[in-house]
Structure 1
Amino acid sequence: MIEKIITLLFLLGSSAYLYSAQELAFGTLSAPKSGFLPYLAGSAAVLLSLLLLAKQVRSRDTVTCEKADWTKFIFIIIGLVFYITILSSIGYLPSTFILLFYLLKVTDTSGWVTPLLIAGISSVACYLVFGRYLAVPLP
């Protein structure tokens, strides 16, 4: 029952988002305007939530909820707060590397080499794409 309520809330939120997106200019496929992507995202969210709701209504299975382990969630929130705190002082690249490495270790990625490589490659790739290629000013 709770999953149906959550899906209905998501459908309601997606519908409100789609309604708000209609205020922006859509444009055409060859010349999209500011409302193009929000309209597509809202339409996809409404469609997916309708499909999920239909699947849940047809299903007779009940989902059993296990007791949630909140420790990982709390550690992730602590990591994000720490990231926000250090971002302006040490810069984008090192703080993003630290955050990604921390999140990978909190979520039980095995070993030390794999999280270091993933965090390093992801941080540098984001920096190159946004900082260099797209020329987005990063902190």
Structure 2
Amino acid sequence: MRKGQSEVIGLMVIVLILIFMGVLYLGFANLAGNDTLASQRVGIETENALNAVLRVNLENYDDKTIQDLIVECGGGFDCNQLENALKEVYTAVLKPGTTFSYWVLMEDEEIYATSTCQIGIVSSYVFVRDGIFYEAKLRLCKT
């Protein structure tokens, strides 16, 4: 074998090793990307579920919105209407097998909380009513 032929074979071995390493890298990078994509989907789902539900007029509650029920709850009224409305709406909106936690802050003080899950993606929505800041938070968890 000549010297030139051995150099070409050595170069081919190096190229094959680099190609093999590249394929391994792409395989592992793709696996990590799936988790990130799923996490982003759940984040978008959480954000949409929170924003949409806050603005819907509820027939069973005198056409009040969830925001109206939050303000009533923070104003010293009973929070049972808010709790029942949240359960009713999110049972209809969320996919089967999805649990949620919901809590509301008024001027950074918690006025309402319900928790059926501990680990998940959280979304929050801030609104002002009569000069008072309210923050509604939703956590979705897959079971």
Which structure: greater strand fraction? 2
TM-score by length of 2: 0.24
Q: Choose between structure 1 and 2: higher helix proportion.
A: 1
**Normalising by structure 1, what TM-score?**
0.25
If asked which structure has higher relative contact order (CA below 8 Å, sep 6+), I would say 2
